[in-house]
Chains A and B, each alone.
Chain A
Amino acid sequence: MARFLMRSVISTLVTMLIVSALVFTLLEVSGRDVTVQILGVFATPEQKESLRKQLGLDQPGFVRYIDWLVGNDWRLRDELGNVQTVFNEISQEPEWYVLLDDGRFVRHEVCSRVEDIDSGFCQPGEMLYLVRNEDASFFRENAGDVWTTDPETGESVFWGVDIGNRAAKWVEGGGDTAFVSTQTGVQELTGAAVQWIPLRKGLLRGDAGVSLKTTRPVSKTLPIRIRNSAILAGLAFIVVMPLALFLGILTGINEGSFFDRFTSVTSLALTATPEFVTGVLLILVVGIYWSNNWLPGLVEAGFLPDWALESFKVPTTTLADSPNAIFEKPKELILPVLTLTAVELGYIVRMTRASMVEVMAAPYIRTAIIKGMPFRRVVFRHAVRNALLAPITIIMLHINYLVGGLVVVEVIFGFQGLGKFIFDHSIFGDPNAVEAAAMVTVLIAIVTRLLGDLAYTFLNPRIRYA
């Protein structure tokens, strides 16, 4: 067993590595210009180029993948000094600082603020320390002459950490031009950094990076989406499983009856209808016709009491108008759950039925019946247990497939879950977010498969994992 687990863990990690490299490569070759997504289509090439540099996208893809995987602070130590993350209690996000020898955490900025220049605090172009206070605020301090000479170009340069959590390379007197109006008139300032490398710890060290689409750490936005999807899928699971197994067993026992045929045809039709059709039709029929037309009619005709008018209405979409909307308005989950149910139900019913039919035809069942054992007991003691073997593994494998269906359902209902996260960020071309989400889905796929294997072992004592 231990060896089996060991092997599973290693195989899982290898799988995740392969997938992450694959995702990265695909996003890389996609030629999708993420700067267009951020700046809008009318940005000038210069603006796009500037942003590209600020995002560190001018680095080779391979380097960025390694950065993503294992971080880059360790390889930038030479330039930056002792660079570390400090957790900001207010924003609840980690921030990068350089730890100076005197124990202070600082970031860097070029003197360019009007009030600093006007007050004579610093001269334009000088480096400033942003020294961190205990409460995560900071004060400015003149850093003095920190410039070093780049042996290759002979320029006077400085590597520091800017306020955007990036390693930035400043060139003394270099950079782009900006206009700033001061008391003494308008000044042209230079001083923007010339190269940026977003600092990160890397996924292996627990840092999934910052989403380009939201500019927030993925680890802040993703968990809530996973939670939402888990609730949605969990609810669907709770509805589907008992119903499907029950129907599957019942039809399996009564093979060939009218009930069997009816259920089989219905479940086949449900499976064969894509979730996007089911969802759209449910919105139309339940959300609109039922809630807006039929329900008021029924109430008016006296078939339903007045309070039913509001209570029986089914919302057509899910609104994330507060972080916990999913708990505040559970009614909004009705249609998404129904859609997932419709798609999954048929599949599992068919699996269970097929398995049940096979088991019921097995010699030992026939023997048991012939021996005069009560039919009920035969079914529940012997047949069901064996018949569930196949469906349970298949159901577990199917959870992976469900993630695909989840995307469509979440897109249709505007549900803020993992599926929509994947869809939106893939369309945007946001590597960190897509990678993180992909890792989650890979994990789901592998863990459910392992669970399927284990369940199989548990239900079938003849199998042992060496």
Chain B
Amino acid sequence: MTTTVQPESAASRQPSRLAKIWNNVSIIFDSPVAMVGLAIVLFWFGMAILSLFWTPHDPNEQYFRDQRRSAYIMTYLPWIDLEDYDEVTRPKPEFLLGTDKTGRDLLSRVMAGGQVVLLKTRIPLPTDDVRRQDEISALSRLLDRFVPEEWDEVVVPGGVAIWGVIGSLVVGTTFGLLAGYKGGWTEQIVMQIMDALVAFPRIVLYIVVIASLGQGDLVIIIAITVTGAPGIARLSRSLALDIKTRDYIRAAETRGEGLLYIMFREILPNARGPLLVDAMLRVGYAIFTIGTLGFLGLGLQPPEPDWGSMVNDGRELIFSQPNIVIWPAIAISTLVIGLNLFADGVREELSRYQK
């Protein structure tokens, strides 16, 4: 429909485009707050990427064989001292942050815990043996046709939190821009639905969505998308309301451009600043959400670590080994802090830039 690129405008933009992006990006260097935030975020990204190639130990390996298993066993008999056991989980050079209750290295797990949040999304494929209850398998089945026979899982780059936010961006901006630009009944209906979604008790939505679709990365992405979309729709609607009064929109209309062209090629680029800042904050919320779901026992699939499930796993041991909870908790908190600082800084710079 409107996918044909206008040769003229494309040509005129081409040379300056990179520079323009760089110009946009470089504003964050002016903000120390954004830089600190960025550093924290990059740290966790770095950790997650590093963990793809190297971790001190295999995050899923249970270290009992090498840890005087017999001593471990003996120590749990109630009339014998716990001293030996503590040696296993107590932080020490081999296991810098200690191990969790199944003897897995906490440091490696905290590092790798960022993977499913930030770096990769796992989509299990239906095979003859895997009779997973996931009813989401429509996509899985579709994917299954295009990948080699022996694969039982497709790993998509981009973590659950990232895809969740991208999902809510796509859904939210589509509806928001549509409502803002078209106005009238369209706006009424779209915003009514969005309001209903906002008012929908999140936790019910999560529990019910997960109960109906089964646990898995895709389900969490859907849950994040659905809960995030209304906020973005609201924001993009208000931006569209403002932008649609501009002359260049009128010009495009006069040119006879289609609805989608105007929405996505004219309005969206001019609304992207605030939307991106919002999206960054939303990545933080999404990480929160994943954590909360993990805590409620509705999180991602074990055994691959994610921070929320790690907290949930360790929660029952909070009185005997608080470190199991504390480290993944710190990971969630700092990453969210980093994203917040980054978003704050960028917003500040943007508003100054616009003035």
Contacts and interface: CB of A to CB of B under 8 A. Distances in A.
A445 B333 contact: no
A427 interface: yes
A403 B201 contact: yes
Nearest to A397: B198
A419 B292 CA distance: 14
A427 B297 CA distance: 11
A441 B322 CA distance: 34
Nearest to B133: A31
A269 B291 CA distance: 16
B190 to A, nearest CB: 12
A404 interface: yes
B212 interface: yes
Given A277-B325, A400-B198, A446-B199, A272 B207 contact: no
Interface in A1-33: 11, 14-15, 18-19, 22-23, 26-27, 29-32
Contacts of B211: 30, 32, 426-427, 429
Interface string B183-211: 00000000011011011111111011101
A272 to B, nearest CB: 4
Give the dominant DSSP class at A's interface: helix
A31 B212 contact: yes
Interface stretch (B81-89, B90-98, B336-344): B336-344
B264 interface: no
Interface stretch (B121-129, B138-146, B235-243, B311-319): B311-319
A14 B192 CA distance: 8
Interface in A185-240: none
A273 B209 contact: no
B147 interface: no
B329 interface: yes
A423 B329 contact: no
Contact of A423 (B203, B319, B334): B203
Interface in A430-454: 434, 437-438, 441-442, 445-446
Given A274-B292, A283-B318, A442 B201 contact: yes
A422 interface: yes
A146 interface: no
A277 B336 contact: no
B102 to A, nearest CB: 20
A19 B199 contact: yes
B72 interface: no
A438 B333 CA distance: 30
Given A269-B337, A276-B311, A280-B318, A22 B196 contact: yes
Contact of B207 (A15, A273, A423, A446): A423
A274 B329 contact: yes
B261 interface: no
B45 interface: no
Given A23-B208, A276-B295, A427-B207, A31 B135 contact: yes
Contacts of B209: 26
A19 B200 contact: yes
Contact of A272 (B202, B311, B315, B340): B340
A422 B204 contact: yes
B204 A438 contact: yes
A422 B201 contact: yes
B306 to A, nearest CB: 13
A16 B329 CA distance: 36
A190 to B, nearest CB: 38
B200 A438 contact: yes
Contacts of B325: 277, 280-281
12 contacts: A29-B212, A268-B341, A276-B291, A277-B291, A277-B332, A284-B318, A284-B322, A400-B198, A400-B199, A404-B201, A423-B203, A441-B199
Interface of B: 135, 192-193, 195-196, 198-205, 207-209, 211-212, 284, 288, 291-292, 295-296, 311, 315, 318-319, 322, 325-326, 329, 332-334, 336-337, 340-341
Those 9 A-B pairs whose CB atoms lie nearest each other, nearest first:
A30-B212, A445-B199, A272-B336, A18-B196, A441-B201, A277-B329, A426-B207, A26-B208, A276-B295
